[in-house]
Amino acid sequence: MQVFDAREQLISVTEETENTVDSGSLNDQASSTLDTPHTQTASLPESPKDSSAITSSESSQDTASKQPSFMGDTIKKNKNRSNLATNKSRVVLWTCASLMLILIAAIQSIYFLRDEIAIYYPNAKPYLVQACQKLSCSINLPKKIEFIVIDDSDMQEDINHPGLVRFASTLINSGHHVVAYPNLELTLTDVEDKPVLRRIFKPNEYLPAGTIIADGIQANAEISIKLAVTTSDITVTGYRVFVTY
């Protein structure tokens, strides 16, 4: 009986098997290559074609996006024109509204200052009078009490008429234009300077007969006043006089 080493036999079988497998694989690959040559040949040029198509498409899109659009320019122009028209309309409206407000403010100023305007601008007075006839208003003389000065006042008892005192004074318009006649307030006092009698005289009561009250006191004019006041049984030793409106 022959003795042999099983490991060597196994190793030889294994190497043989590997060689056989490798050889079979190579033969299969070679056979596959020979049997289907058109598959590889057709697949190789497809890749460049696809890449070229993608590049060409992107280039076309970039070119299209860079080129100006006639319709886009027309829309922009129309939009700009519309904006300009809108801005012009707003300017016109604001201008008209501003002028209207200025006109209203001017009319209100003329209405409330009509008396002063008639004094400083006499030529405008006829127009103001006509306007007031339609608006049911009137042109009055300005009431400037600070321009009225009381001068040379005096009070004496009437020796011929007991219980009667006579008051005399002068009103002076120290202003530079006509002012309305004021009311005259006369207060009679006793020995302790306490008021015992008081009365307010209107212009038609203290002015000389025939005076046109509506004309007012002219600038720098002097008006003489003479009043007779009954005191009855009250003892009067002094007086106070004021002008008011």
Annotated domain spans of the chain: 145-244
In angstroms, the Cα distances linking 130 to 127, 134, 139, 195 are: 5, 7, 10, 47
Please tell me which of 5-14, 41-50, 113-122, 208-217 the model is most confident about, judged by mean pLDDT.
208-217
pLDDT band at 77 (very low <50, low <70, confident <90, very high): low
pLDDT at 234 over 90: no
pLDDT band of residue 81 (cuts 50, 70, 90) is: low
Residue 173 burial (C-beta neighbours within 10 Å; 0-12, 13-18, 19+): buried
pLDDT band at residue 23, thresholds of 50, 70 and 90?
very low
Regarding beta strands 195-201 and 222-230, do their DSSP bridges make them parallel or antiparallel, or are they unpaired?
unpaired
| pLDDT range class, residue 91, cuts 50, 70, 90 | confident
Which pLDDT band holds residue 116 (cuts at 50, 70, 90)? Answer: confident
Say yes or no to pLDDT of 56 above 70.
no
Interval 185-211 mean pLDDT? 93
- 210 compared with 18, residue with greater pLDDT: 210
156: phi then psi, degrees, rounded to nearest 5: -135, 150
pLDDT greater than 90 at residue 222? yes
Please give the CATH number for the structural domain made up of 145-244. 2.60.40.3230
Is the confidence at residue 180, as pLDDT, over 90? yes
Encoded amino acid at 44, one letter: L
Collapsed DSSP state (helix, strand, coil) of residue 23? helix
Q: How far apart are CA 48 and CA 55, in angstroms?
A: 10
**pLDDT value of position 40:** 47
End-to-end CA distance of the chain: 165
Residues in the chain: 245
- Residue 214: phi and psi, rounded to 5, are -65, -20
Q: Which of 212, 214, 221, 204 is nearest to 170 (CA)?
A: 221
Residues 154/168, Cβ–Cβ less than 8 Å: yes
Could you write out the DSSP letters of every residue in 141-209?
A: ----GGGEEEEEEEEEE-TTSTTEEEEEEEEEE-SSS-BPPPEEEEEEE-TTS-EEEEEEE-HHHHSPT
Share of the chain above pLDDT 90, in %: 38
